[in-house]
Structures are given as structure tokens and as C-alpha cells.
Amino acid sequence: MADRLVIEAGHVVTVDPAFRVIRNGAVAIERDRIVALGPADEIDQRDADVRRFPRHVAIPGLVNGHTHVAGSLFRGLLEDRPDAFYGYALPMEPAMDPEAIYALSMVGISELLLSGCTVMNDMFHHAAETARAARDTGIRAQIAHKVFDADLPGIGKGRREFRFSDGIERLEENVRLHAAWHGAADGRIAVRFGLHAADTCSPALMAEIVNEAGRHRAGIHTHVAQSPVEHAFITETYGCGSAVHLEHNGVLGPDTVAAHLIWADGPDVAALARTDTHVAHCPACVTKAVGAIGPYRDIYAAGITVGWGTDWITMDPWDAMRFGIVGYRMAYGDDQLLTADETLLSANEALWRFTLGSARMLGMADDVGSLEVGKKADLTLIDVDQPHLAPLYDPVSALVYNASGRDVTHVLIDGELVVEDRRITGIDTSVVVAEAQRVAEKIWATASTPAAMPLPRPSFAGAGS
């Protein structure tokens, strides 16, 4: 194979500062980096392996700012349940053993790669298994172990109990994760410290997590103001919102990624801005779960670094981009649509949030998030020669409003083809899917899982008795 790879595409969407879209463009790659980029006829193709995609759009690999890839377990289970999170998901999680986490991570990461994502930022139980799945698939990943000391299944039953020693054990597992996996897979894997949520970690445990993260110079990944149950508990117990509570405990700062902020109030947004905390917004997940997005007009206006992600259940970035636009428009109404805030709602903005925005949020913008000379060769190719994408006027708008993961044909990470002709190289996804089904059925057969928790009775007009 030649040392130089040139990818030619009908359109190259750079997401560079000028948001350039190059018609008949090309990206030249040497080893893992982009070395040249521009109109195809200006790119040196001598001694290069040239791949031509005249009917494709090339975009930067999508950067998914917040995931739980093993949360694919909950697909089809949680979407229509009241109290899905505390009442159903958290009680089911203890049944997920390391074997299950690996199998479910493999299916979640496969979905990410096949949808065009090249980076994920994950936190879950048995995180070393997710790291192993990241290595085996080739995705670029930041991974944290889920550290908490609350009795999670108890919260759904109205109990608030903390066992500090359990939290310390989980924190020690995060320390071991850092030792084993930080910088692994040719540097594609980095480790953060997981502070599960404002209401599932005691202040004493928060202090220990902050201490370990500082000692390892690692970032923190957390959930903030993600549920009304959390909001009520924190305000009743501490007399402030979740972000302010985390600020009081030293958790906030530029190396902390805080997901959701759905129930954040004015002082919370001020705390995030004051501490330069980075925020992960997961519009598809939160809009489906609670029908609200959170105070994002204020969060954007405060200049907070915000990237977008998918969270769990579905890892589809294209859905998330559309929900991000629609959710914002529904929240702020038509008085915003044609005013100065219009750019917040555009297709360009959605793609930026899912590429360079998330890369900045994760502290990776020097390497990924846009197609620019010197950056990592992480690139996604989308087949636009299809009825639902024709006729092609503005490729960004066409993709953000109409594309799905099934339109992605090729994905490069570090200049290597990780997805080729809609298949993950070196991975048999039929085996991955079968394994996920097998471990999921084992979990579902245990107590506190769907056999004991039938879906709510349908109440729509068409449901006969």
C-alpha cells in the first residue's frame, strides 16, 4: 500500500473556521494525518493510493460527546415507560456482568461506526470491557468508569442511601482503568473519571473523585440536572441546583464534561460559565425521555463550550442532530426562528456541534472535529446518490435534515478504513448482534427485568381490548 492515500469526494465539508464546502474536493493522508486538502485537481496524487467517491460527501468523523454504548440493552424497553431511569434502568444495571458489557458495547460501538461516528465519550459499569470493545473495533474513545455510592435501585423506591466504601471500590476500578487503558490502542483511548451524577455521589465521594482525577491529570465525566427526582433531592438537601452543588464540591472546571442540564436554573448556568465547565447536550435522548431540552438558549448565550451527543438507547447521531434543531425550535418558539439566534438552529450549527463543538468539549480539537491539514485523518463518507438526498443543493442541509446512519459507506480513523462499503473491517456484525441478543436475553430473564415489568397498557385510540 502506498504511503499516501488520497480520498476524492463530490463534496468535502471541512467544518474549518470558514465552514468551507469544496466541490470535487480531495483529502490527502499520510500515516494518521491529513497533509493536504483542497480541489481535487490541486492535490498531488503521485505515488498515492487514490480512492474516488464522486457521488459522496466527505465530512469530518462525527464526535459523539456523551454515550453509554452498553445502554443499547435498553432499546425498546425504556422509551414508553414512566420513571424509566430510576424505576427500570437503574434496577436492571446490576445484572449486567463484564461479558454482557463487552457484547453490548460491541453492538453500540458498531452502531456508532456504521453511523459515521469516529469518537465517543463513554461512562458505564465494567468500563474496561468497553475499552476492550473500543480497541477491538478501532473507534477513538474517552472512557470513564461509573463511580457512585448511592444505592441506585433504592432511589426508584424512594430510598436515599449512600455506602461510601462501595464508591471507593468503584473509584479504585477507575484508577485501574486509567493505568491499563489511558493512551492504549495507539493513543486512541483516553480515560476520564466518572462521577455518575450530582444525586448519586455523596459530597465525600465527590472529593475523592476530584482528588484522583487531579492526581492523574484526567478529566471528569458527569451527569448534571438530568432528572426531576435529582433536582428535587438536591434542592431540598442542599438548597441549590445541581451545578451549583457540584461547584461547591470542586467538581466543575474546564476538564469536566457535564451532560444534560435539563433542569438547570439561572444560578446553575452561571456556575457552569464561571468555571468554564464543558457541557454535553443529548437532544434526541432527553427530548424523547422528558419532552424538554433544558435552558440551552441561556447556555449558548453564556458562551459555554457545548458539544452534542446521543446518550444511550440509540446511538444515531443524525437523529440527535435533527432533535437538536427541532427541540430548540419547540422550546423557544417562532419568535426565535428569524431573529439573531437563527444560526443556533441551522444545519451548519448542528453539524458543528456534532464535530468541532464536541471535539472542543472533549479537549480534542487540535486533533479531530474538522478536516484541516495537520489534524488526524478521521473522515466519514456518505452516499448522496439516493432518492431521499436528491436533488443535492446544500450538502450540509441535505445530510442533517435527511440522512441516516445507513447512508454512511466508509469511515476512516487515523487514516485507516474502519468501515468499508457499510461493513466494519475485521468485525462480523452478525456475530456482534447475535451476542448482544444472547446476553440481553440472559439479563431480561433475571429478576427486576422486563418479565416482571410489562410495558404499560397501550392507551391510544386504536388499541382494542
Residues that bind Zn ion (CB under 5 A): 311
* Cβ proximity to Zn ion, 300 vs 312, nearer residue: 312
Instruction: Supply the minimum distance, in Å, between the C-beta of residue 376 and Zn ion.
Output: 26
Tell me how far, at minimum, the Cβ of 238 lies from Zn ion, in Å: 22
Residue closer to Zn ion (CB basis): 40 or 299: 299
Say if residue 283 is preceded by a cis peptide, omega within 30 of 0: no
Return the closest-CA partner of residue 244 out of 258, 124, 362, 92. Answer: 258
Q: How far is CA 229 from CA 86, 167, 232, 247, 261, in A?
A: 9, 21, 5, 20, 13
- State the nearest-atom distance from the C-beta of 68 to Zn ion, in Å: 5
Residue nearest to Zn ion (CB): 311
Nearest Cα to Cα of residue 307 among 263, 250, 351? 351
19, three cell numbers: 465552514
Using DSSP bridges, classify how beta strands 21-30 and 33-39 pair: parallel, antiparallel or unpaired. antiparallel
| Closer to Zn ion by Cβ: residue 146 or 375 | 146
**Other CB atoms within 10 A of residue 135 CB:** 16
Q: State how far the Cα of 25 lies from the Cα of 18, in Å rounded to an integer.
A: 16
Cell of 369: 472535529
Spatial distance between the Cα atoms of 196 and 90, rounded to a whole number of angstroms: 12
Nearer to Zn ion, 15 or 127 (CB): 127
Q: Phi first, then psi: give them for residue 416, nearest 5 degrees.
A: -105, 140
Nearer to Zn ion, 124 or 318 (CB): 124
Nearest alpha-carbon partner for 26 in 18, 35, 17: 35
250: left (phi > 0), else alpha (psi -120 to 50), else beta?
A: left
Is residue 282 a contact partner of residue 66, using CB atoms and an 8 Å limit? yes
Closer residue to Zn ion (CB): 71 or 167: 71
Q: What is the closest distance, in whole angstroms, from the C-beta atom of residue 223 to Zn ion in the complex? A: 5
CB of 71 vs Zn ion, minimal distance in Å: 8
Provide the 10 A C-beta neighbour count for residue 455.
11
The 10 Å Cβ neighbour count of residue 349 is 21
For Zn ion, give the closer residue by CB, 311 or 349: 311
For residue 262, the minimal CB distance to Zn ion (Å) is 11
Least distance to Zn ion, CB of residue 122, Å: 9
CB of 9 to Zn ion, least distance (A): 33
> Which grid coordinates are listed for 166?
462501595
Nearer to Zn ion, 156 or 214 (CB): 156
